[in-house]
Amino acid sequence: MGQPDDRLDDEDYPAFTMGRAAEIVGCTPDFLRRLGEAKLIDPFRSGGGHRRYSRYQIRLAARAREMCDQGTDIASACRIIILEDQLEEALRQNRAHEAHHHD
């Protein structure tokens, strides 16, 4: 296991409290809860049940907030972001597959 400082560089390490995540995103804690309900992000729960967010989840929340600020409803924004991420992953896998077959 790495040192605690190493975890801060980990995109998926749940380093941020709900209040801090909301502050970074520029939204309310309720907005973050609604993103969880829409299945965009699933925050880690501390031993006490408090939500903790990773940098990756904060980036997703910021994308959703931007879309909502432009008039997209939250459910649609979440669905679009999920589909964009799935497409990005599929394209990455295709590139890896093609590179493997060209060797």
pTM to 2 decimal places: 0.82
Question: pLDDT by residue (tens digit) across 64-88?
Answer: 999 999 999 999 999 999 999 999 9
Strands (E), 6-54: 16-17, 44-45, 51-53
Between CA 89 and CA 85 the distance in angstroms is 6
Instruction: Please name the amino acid found at residue 18.
Output: M
Q: By the 8 A CB rule, do 74 and 92 touch?
A: no
Question: pLDDT by residue (tens digit) across 15-41?
Answer: 999 999 999 999 999 999 999 999 999
